[in-house]
Amino acid sequence: MNRRFFLLLLLFFLYPSFSFSREIQQSDSLTSLQKDSLAFAEAPWDTKLIHFGGIILRQCAFSDSSLFNSNQYVSVLTVRNNFRFDIVADTTLVLTRDFVAYADALAGINGSFFAWDAPWKSVSYLRVDYNELAPNRLNEEGLRSYHQSGCLVVSEKGRLSVHKVPDTLMTQSQTNGWEQTLTGEDVLSSGPVLRIRGQDEPLLTNNFNLARHPRTAVGIRKSGRVILVVVDGRAHEAAGMTMEELQHIMRWLRSWDAINLDGGGSSTMCVRKNLGQPVQTVNHPSDNRLFDHQGDRKVANALIVQ
């Protein structure tokens, strides 16, 4: 079996991992959202095999305002569940690509929200290797914020899951009690939660959700396959997305569960084909206001793939 035939065969088996859920009906009249769904599904996605075990990067530039009536640039990393995930953190802010390199990982995206004066720079609950490093920083009313409405959990075996804070606890002054009950070696609070058990979650009407920004999200399919998504923004080439628009694409990517992570200048996706190669930033981070790969921001933590 020659190498080219082997690659074609491998892509044949891996390609279904990127199939879409199209919101198209048999009708001559399509709604705006159905048109967006069709544009997303039928776009000329650039596909790269990152690792033979099942890591595939797909990227697309919507340069004709065909997605949500705007220019967009979307990066989607599909990871089979035979890879291990980890949440990594440091006491100082670190570039996402450096987190990936230091951890001897193959890929990674930025983690949750941060502040300079927070423990481990994290304003969200953070547990790494069973050690609690940072609590949730509650808002002025003594409650969890929208960006603490869910958690990413990594099991002892490196499996990833998304959990939603019960609605009743979002109105109670409780810092970490619910997060501490979650079973896993790593736990990272973030939000808002976008999908749970195959259903869209209601989104708050606030400026953070309604404005277009660069976004980072994690989706998990019912099969266990993980979808890492980074949406570029703050550029002519990429407007960024509202939270509802991000929710739409996570549904189109067939996420059973999905959660939003930190966005804006933090939104970064990094990959490499093997540990002997340098880590590459493959999206267009916005912190330098240039549409290139050099504008990445230092962050408090990251989600990596090993």
Q: Where are the domains of the chain?
A: 78-305
Average pLDDT for residues 157-181, to the nearest whole number? 94
Give the integer Cα–Cα distance in Å for 73 and 130. Answer: 36
- The owner of tokens 């569940």 is 81
**Claim: this prediction has a pTM higher than 0.75:** yes
At 174, the pLDDT band (50, 70, 90 cuts) reads confident
* pLDDT bracket for residue 213 (50, 70, 90): very high
Mean pLDDT, all residues of the chain: 93
Q: What is the pLDDT of residues 42-91, one digit of tens each?
A: 999 999 999 999 999 999 999 999 999 999 999 999 999 999 999 999 99
Tell me, what's the pLDDT at 173?
87
Asked if 74 contacts 277 with a C-beta cutoff of 8 angstroms, the reply is no
| Distance in angstroms (rounded) separating the CA atoms of residues 158 and 301 | 17
pLDDT at 219 over 80: yes
Please name the helix (run of DSSP H) or strand (run of DSSP E) that holds residue 101, with its range, or none: helix 96-102
The one-character DSSP state at 155 is: -
